[in-house]
Amino acid sequence: MIFPDRNTNRQATNLILMVQELSNQIAVVTGAASGIGKAITFKLVENGAKVYALDLNKEKLETCFQNHQPGITSIPLDVTEEQRVNEVMNHILQKEGAIQILVNCVGITGITNIQSHQVDASNINHVFNVNFMSCFYTSKAILPHMVENKYGRILHLASIAGKEGNAGMLAYSTSKAALICMAKVQGSEYAQSGITINAMAPAVIRTPLVDMMPDQQVKYMTDKIPMKRCGTLEEAANLALYIVSPSNSFTTGFTFDLSGGRATY
């Protein structure tokens, strides 16, 4: 007699439940055309959600998602322009009636592998506009509607650098620290509104963003990980899927670590 693998059956059951949970939900993902944003977009669609994929790079959006209609609608957008963010969010709300999920994945590193006294103020301003202000704009636009509907899930993609501070990455590290703090503030403010707002802090995930970093910078970060490897896009997407699901109903204002053992607090 062949006995079924209990773990396999359990995984299949969990997948079915997750699909049912996200069925008919509307999600918005920024920075969706590459890396973790792209992986999360596909993961959400696979699990029943309809996703609006936002990214500055129109060409990448079309290449990534042109064969995935109607599950994914791509919209080119510079998320550092608050007025355009408001226009796009209002367009989605008018069309769909509600947005249940917001995942902010947009992010840049700025100039890295330099000491703080060498950092130009314009670089810090640019990194903060992309990494922090864009997340403020999108969440500000969506939160009133989530409050009205008494339900919502928001995830800000931060970084272990925002907790520990990576040497040579002042602009990036401090912008991600600001995101972690915003998740704490927002999570507390809307805790009684049926909305959870959390952050995720990956260590090094193998993405195009990481590939563009100097080898010395990547080695510095990877050497700090007890597992001695980069995380995968699949691991990041799986964690994000739980964070924005209805199952995550009692955790808010929290930073979920994805660090291979690096984070110890």
Give catalytic residues, as residue numbers: 172
Q: What distance, in Å, lies between the first and last C-alpha atoms of the chain?
A: 47
Q: Which residue has the tokens 């260590």?
A: 203
Rounded-to-integer distance, Cα 265 and Cα 259, Å? 11
Q: DSSP strand E in the chain: where?
A: 26-30, 50-55, 72-76, 101-104, 152-157, 195-202, 255-258
**Cβ-based neighbours of 165, under 8 Å, separated by 6 or more:** 173, 174, 177
Q: Which of 102, 134, 108, 32 is nearest to 74 (CA)?
A: 32
Q: Which of 91, 31, 89 is nearest to 60 (CA)?
A: 31
